[in-house]
Amino acid sequence: MGYGVKRERRPGEVICTCGAYGFPHRWLGGRCDGSALAEATFEAFRGCKDCWFYDKQHHLCDVVEGREAATRCPAVEERMLYEGAKR
């Protein structure tokens, strides 16, 4: 298989375009840890106020700040279940 050749997607494989790589890649593979989804969710909802990782005192997300793993974020966990993605 050469470079630039597309292969068929595998079951449970989700394509991500975050900044971990300069090309579309497998979500949660290698350097892609799901933090882009956690950040986008936090920004879209102006803080996930009911989440246990939300620091109400400082209005920060422990996942976005890097104090917790992105795969522990409820939004990332939900997408993993929905897509059938594997870590």
pLDDT single digits (tens) 28-80: 889 999 999 999 999 898 768 889 999 889 889 999 999 999 999 999 999 88
Half-sphere exposure of 64 (CA within 13 A, CB side): 21
Residue type, 64: V
pLDDT at residue 15 in the model: 87
Residue 71: give the domain boundaries: 33-87
Within a domain: 66: yes
Within a domain: 70: yes
Within a domain: 69: yes
Provide the CA 45 distance to its chain's centre, in angstroms. Answer: 16
Within a domain: 41: yes
Q: For residue 2, give Cα distances in angstroms to 6, 14, 41, 87.
A: 9, 21, 36, 26
> What pTM does this model have?
0.76
How many structural domains is the chain composed of? 1
Within a domain: 43: yes
